[in-house]
Structure 1
Amino acid sequence: MIEMELKLLLDDAGAEKLRKAATARGARPENSTLLTRYFDTAEKALGRAGIALRMRREKRRWTQTVKVRERHTGGLSSAREADAPAPGGRIDIARIPEEDLRLAVEDAVNGHDLAPVFETDIKRARFRLSPDGTSQVELAIDLGEIRAGDRSALHREAEFELISGDPGALFTAARGLIPEGGLVFSTRSKAERGALLAAEGRIGDPTEPRKSRVTPLDPDMTAEAAAQAVLAECLDQVAANAEAVRAGDDPEGPHQLRIGLRRLRSALKLWRGPLGGGWLADLEGEARWLGAEVGRLRDLDVTLHDLVAPAARAAPDEPGFAPLAAAVEARAGIERAHLRETLRGPRVQGFLFDLSEFIALRRWLDPSDHEQTGRLAEPISVLAARELDAVWHRAARRAKGIDHLDIEARHELRKALKTLRYAVEFFAPLASGKKVAAVVKPLRALQDLFGNLNDLAMAEAMFMTEDAFAGGNPAAARAAGRVIGARAALAEEDWQTARDRWHALKSVKPFWR
């Protein structure tokens, strides 16, 4: 049996609010207590194979379940599972009813003894919902703890499980019951959380800024399969960093969130041909909007930490840097509070729900587009070569006459190079490391130089406007002038180097040809 669930993390207040929302829609709770023990070998062979084998007691009945998670996108996961009665609560592999699952467990265990590794003790409230009038969804609100030896941790979670009908009903149900925002996707199963508790004393990942990760692509993949994998990674980066910004003050949080949104927009553009459709355009628009919201805080963080602080260290006797930094920091505090409110709000929640549904349920499929099937089935290596050529030529056009580009043209070239870098990073797993490095290394160096050039434009925008941070303080105005002057000198020096680096990059043979 295939199980499909949308899972969200909760706190006690959120669980109570969700319970009331379900009850207000006429759903009656069915309450139960679930004691579940998870088994593995001493070498954790089942966990390494991605298999969970559990024994659950509900009232007086024991049930043995084997579960293999097949896919995870945002908070939505699908898994194969098979249940069997377990008289006396004894594990018996031979009772697994589906032969391939039974053989997978037998192969992983390989004759070794099984023993309990951890257990969960959960009070569950079940609600039966029909959010679209035809589909059936079960909402389970779980409150309890996970225990492994002498370690324990509280766990609060909502699971929307599809019983019958359209999988989109999971998202419809969640949107209807949690309309105001603030969701956090639950990206680990209870089995994974228990194994983590036993091994490391924690049940989840720390709430901290998250960098992008390489998505393993294979040349035999279709364009659609590659799109799903890349977009899922973009979603994970965006969702993780949205939570990091909500929870902490680390400037890396807004930085990685903005990168995640830019990577997402780049991916949507690269796969626009096979995916197309209104969902894609709407998601791109929401990512652009949120990127602008994040960008205001990120620009202030850069101004404070990368522009003012270095200039202050270089001129310790300048008294104007202290009030200038204080003014920037105060504005950043206001902007951080605003961004957190935005990230907890319904628009961002709707965006994350839509993005997860788009990826997991293939909302790009258009029955009226009879040629889409062919585009989706195109080998990713073919699409990659075509799209990389396109972004490469776009950057080359922006760089034409590079010796005489004005400030605006340099800015456009910087954006084109950023898009090229994201495209190269997405498709890098399709080529050998040496060939990719020959392009990536000079491209990154070039981007760093253009980043310094952008710092000058940022300094001028921050400090040369009517509501500049000097606030009528002559010393602070003098300090701001020092920042702009230092950046102007550095920018001119970097521009000379950037031109040389571009000519060097042009001479590299692209790895996709």
Structure 2
Amino acid sequence: MADGVEAELKVAVDAAGASRLARLASLAGLDVTPKGDKRLVSTYFDTPDLALRAKGISLRLRRSGRSGEQTVKFSGSFSLGLAERPEFNVPYNGRVPDLSRLPDEAAVELTRLVDGRPLVPLFSMRVTRRRWDIATPGGDRVEMALDRGTATAGSRRADIREVEFELVSGDRRALFEVARPALAGVAFHFSTEAKSDLGYALLEGEIGAAEPTTAVDADLDDDMSVEMALQQVLRSCALQISANVAALRAADDPEGAHQLRVGLRRLRTALKVFASVMAPGAAEPLGAEARRLAAEVAHTRDMDVLIDELVAPLEGDDIAALIVLLEKRRKAARARLATVLAERSTGDFLIDLLAFTEARGWLSTDDIGQSVGLAAPVTPFAEEVIARLRRKVEKLGRDPEALSPDERHELRKRFKRLRYAYDFFEPLLPKSARRKLLPRVKAAQDVLGVLNDIHMAHLMLDDVHAAGPKAGAVERAIGYCLGWHSARAEAIWERRSDDLTL
């Protein structure tokens, strides 16, 4: 592209997905023009002490056939696959960078940072790039590029299978309009780093499989508007959801299911918390899909809790027989979840979530007053939200002893929404709330969470019917577990019910 700010959406795919995308010929409703293949060899340079890396700058020389190019990309925004970075390209066939060939604004900055130190090659990437030019009905143009190849740093190597959707002209919403049908049926996850970050990680020996990821703080501050806070919170939710979908596709670590469930719950809370400043109904499709996916994750997560936290800590041959049976059910639940995560609906949800977040999907086309609410300072908004959610907790939790099991479950959900709202807005809240009230909310959530786990254990174990020579052992183990945890629940309630009042 020409010198300026590149806007691109990047995703990583597996070998099967890359093979499928390589055969792309058409997309319904879009004008697709194949542009052929290029073989690219890119070498990345930095000073021995990685001065460019420290500033988020990448400097590369790239060759394609007899043509060469020198490119520098400066630090920009990189939010869950969507990158916007200033970049400068100049034709160049040399073997070492020549900063004087760059435009003055780039040359001056790099020369200052390099400060006379040598620029040394650190890692290289060899890929075959297959490209398509794609036009939307509205006239926007997107270049889709599939890169397949290898990154090398010394003796370390890593496969590259990446798809980039780069905006050539028009509105960046076209990136999502193209990506959604192009990636239909392909297992993917959003890239959270540039190619140069992959090279540096390889250089440092830090390449590994996707791992379960906890929530990332939204990093709100008093200077933000409500809309800025909304976007930051949604980015935090989207990052947690996408990362844990990728982790579960790579392995069946129980923490992946747990964190995906948490991410989906945080998203649903965020959509409710900010509903008053969104166009009516704008977030309903996302909320519905988040509920659907959460229900699919729930069975796997509940099986993990039942086996690992409630049954396995108990001892005896009967318990071992029950675990064998439950493990078969967990395996089936994990297989079901893996199938769901590979379905087109999950990929569509991830793209729709990112599009909603980055293309401001909450905007109304006819509510002129909406802009006032979105532009308002976030701190008063946050304080009102917390106060409202707290009142709902206090109303139901005035007399914990009088609550029915269903009311306890509802109280747990209210505490959970309050907890997530605290997490979103914590930097904006008074110190007194952070010091006193937040720990009480967390303690109440923990109590109700344990009681809910025990309740779920009753429901799940009541559905277990054993047969065969181990049937007696399994039935005895179920009775023992239910009796043990029923007594435990009563003890927890008697000892900790006071924790449920604020």
When the two structures are superposed, what TM-score results if normalisation uses the length of structure 2? 0.92
Q: Does 1:212 align with 2:215?
A: yes
CA contact (8 A) 1:82 1:98 kept: no
Aligned to 1:397: 395
Offset, 1:474: 3.5
CA contact (8 A) 1:10 1:184 kept: yes
Aligned-pair identity in percent equals 38
Offset, 1:168: 2.2
Aligned to 2:451: 453
Looking at structure 1, the residues matched to 33 and 395 of structure 2 have their Cα atoms a distance apart, in angstroms, of 60
CA contact (8 A) 2:383 2:429 kept: no
Offset, 1:352: 0.4
Q: Secondary structure at the match of 2:355?
A: helix
Looking at structure 1, the residues matched to 278 and 49 of structure 2 have their Cα atoms a distance apart, in angstroms, of 43
CA contact (8 A) 2:13 2:186 kept: no
Letter in 1 for 2:377: P
1:325-373: per-residue Cα shift (whole Å, max 9, x none)?
A: 2222111111111111000001111100100111111122223111121
Question: In 2 relative to 1, CA 432–38 (structure 1 residues): closer, same or farther, beyond 3 Å?
Answer: farther
Aligned to 2:249: 246
When the two structures are superposed, what TM-score results if normalisation uses the length of structure 1? 0.91
Letter in 1 for 2:70: Q
Q: Does 1:199 align with 2:204?
A: yes
Offset, 1:417: 0.8
Offset, 1:468: 2.5
1:468 to 458, 464, 469: 464
Q: Does 1:284 align with 2:290?
A: no
Question: In 2 relative to 1, CA 200–433 (structure 1 residues): closer, same or farther, beyond 3 Å?
Answer: farther
Q: Secondary structure at the match of 2:368?
A: coil
Give 1:111-510 correspondences, 5 Å limit: 111-132=116-137, 134-200=139-205, 202=207, 206-311=209-314, 313=315, 316=316, 319-431=317-429, 435-464=433-462, 467-470=463-466, 473-503=471-501, 506=502
CA contact (8 A) 2:140 2:171 kept: yes
1:11 to 14, 38, 49: 14
Looking at structure 2, the residues matched to 96 and 324 of structure 1 have their Cα atoms a distance apart, in angstroms, of 69
Aligned to 1:29: 35
Question: In 2 relative to 1, CA 106–375 (structure 1 residues): closer, same or farther, beyond 3 Å?
Answer: farther
CA contact (8 A) 2:32 2:132 kept: no
1:179-229: per-residue Cα shift (whole Å, max 9, x none)?
A: 224222222211111111112252xx5322111122221111111112212
Looking at structure 2, the residues matched to 83 and 329 of structure 1 have their Cα atoms a distance apart, in angstroms, of 56
CA contact (8 A) 1:463 1:470 kept: no
Aligned to 1:97: 103
Indicate the larger mover: 64-73 or 225-234.
Answer: 64-73
Offset, 1:375: 1.4
Aligned to 1:49: 55
Looking at structure 1, the residues matched to 346 and 146 of structure 2 have their Cα atoms a distance apart, in angstroms, of 23
Which ranges of structure 1 fall in alignment gaps of 5 or more residues?
507-513
Q: Secondary structure at the match of 1:43?
A: coil
Letter in 1 for 2:340: T
1:455-490: per-residue Cα shift (whole Å, max 9, x none)?
A: 2311221123xx424459343222212111111111
Aligned to 2:83: 77
Aligned to 1:509: none
Indicate the larger mover: 324-333 or 190-199.
Answer: 324-333
CA contact (8 A) 1:63 1:89 kept: no
Letter in 1 for 2:67: R
Q: Secondary structure at the match of 1:214?
A: coil
CA contact (8 A) 2:32 2:133 kept: no
Indicate the larger mover: 236-245 or 143-152.
Answer: 143-152
Letter in 2 for 1:495: W
Letter in 2 for 1:180: G
Offset, 1:117: 1.9
1:202-258: per-residue Cα shift (whole Å, max 9, x none)?
A: 2xx532211112222111111111221221121111111112222222211111110
Question: In 2 relative to 1, CA 328–433 (structure 1 residues): closer, same or farther, beyond 3 Å?
Answer: farther
Indicate the larger mover: 51-60 or 23-32.
Answer: 23-32
CA contact (8 A) 1:171 1:353 kept: yes
Looking at structure 1, the residues matched to 238 and 101 of structure 2 have their Cα atoms a distance apart, in angstroms, of 39
CA contact (8 A) 1:69 1:77 kept: no
Offset, 1:178: 2.6
CA contact (8 A) 2:38 2:130 kept: yes
Offset, 1:51: 1.2
Offset, 1:54: 1.7
User: What's the Cα RMSD here?
Assistant: 2.2
Q: Secondary structure at the match of 2:214?
A: coil
Offset, 1:104: 4.0
CA contact (8 A) 1:121 1:144 kept: yes
Offset, 1:165: 1.7
Looking at structure 1, the residues matched to 85 and 421 of structure 2 have their Cα atoms a distance apart, in angstroms, of 31
Question: In 2 relative to 1, CA 21–374 (structure 1 residues): closer, same or farther, beyond 3 Å?
Answer: same
Looking at structure 2, the residues matched to 192 and 22 of structure 1 have their Cα atoms a distance apart, in angstroms, of 31
Question: In 2 relative to 1, CA 453–13 (structure 1 residues): closer, same or farther, beyond 3 Å?
Answer: closer
